[in-house]
Amino acid sequence: MSHPVKGCGIGLRFQHIDTIVDSNQPIPWLEILTDNYLLPGSVQQDYLFEIAEHYPLTFHGVGMSLGSTDPLDTEYVSRVKALVERVNPAWVSDHLCWTSAHGVVTHDLIPLPYTEETIRHVSQRISQVQDSLERRLVIENVSSYLQYQQSAMSEWDFLCAVVEAADCDILLDVNNIYVSACNHDFDPLAYLNAIPVQRVREIHLAGYEDRGTHLLDTHGYPVSDAVWALYAQAIQRFGAVPTLIEWDNNVPELPVLLAEAAKAAEVQARVLA
């Protein structure tokens, strides 16, 4: 039975596993990068099973390539399902993007054209994964640096249409909204206000890098003041949604991550008061 996920957690990173296992840190919940734990009998899985006994967990993946025109990787989904059945996380998430084409994996989260055809294609694939996993999927919005000429609607209208058609939930990455808003010159509040409250299961916060011509979603810095301000607006709209600090590059010591999570909890408490 999975533990309930609430409050503000952190992503589990290999640099911190020993500390977390040995000291039983007071962390509200942990999100694992699913793809790192799919090998049966691996040391990584052994660590995961031990951590799952003490902490509420969610699974966050990058390998479903839900927007790709390649056939769905059913072997990958089967491995995720086997791990889900063993650990029983609170939920399973992946990204609204494509990561592979013609059998070649890009190792990047590439946005989709916002069209009716793409909505049908992606929602069908999400439904296929949900049928396989026998549970609802949670879909994250990605940051973007380009736009397709074919796009016929806004990103938020596209996201809303996909989750409605697939009947799935949303992992709302507030940092990604801010990065894309700056890169494409739209109002991030218009994005927030369009998202159906009942669909938002989780929120992500992370740090970006300002490259001058654009913002780059690096997950390698503290959350910026502008993103904290947007997060406060998100909490005002969506309520006490479980929130995660993502930090994948230049990973700091564990206390730094926990301090960011504590700051998110403070923002929640202040807004909800």
Return the H-helix or E-strand segment holding 191. helix 188-194
Question: In the structure encoding, which two tokens stand for residue 148, read together?
Answer: 């397709």
Q: Tell me the pLDDT of the chain averaged across its residues.
A: 93
Residue 2 has pLDDT above 80, yes or no: no
Residue 1 inside a domain? The answer is no
Residue 76 has pLDDT above 80, yes or no: yes
User: Mean pLDDT throughout 27-52?
Assistant: 95
Residue 36 inside a domain? The answer is yes
Query: What digits encode the pLDDT tens for the residues 124-178?
Result: 999 999 999 999 999 999 998 888 899 999 999 999 999 999 999 999 999 999 9
**Is 181 in a helix, a strand, or coil?**
helix
Beta-bridge partners for 92: 59, 137
Report the CATH number at residue 94.
3.20.20.150
Contacts of 137 (CB under 8 A, 6+ apart): 92, 93, 94, 126, 129, 130, 166, 168, 169
Give pLDDT, residue 103. 64
Residue 1 has pLDDT above 60, yes or no: no
Residue 2 inside a domain? The answer is no
Query: What digits encode the pLDDT tens for the residues 149-164?
Result: 999 999 999 999 999 9
Parent domain of 119: 8-272
Domains in the chain, number: 1
Percent of the chain past pLDDT 70, that is, above it, reads 96
Residue 3 inside a domain? The answer is no
Residue 38 has pLDDT above 80, yes or no: yes
Residue 266 has pLDDT above 90, yes or no: yes
Residue 220 inside a domain? The answer is yes
Residue 100 has pLDDT above 60, yes or no: no
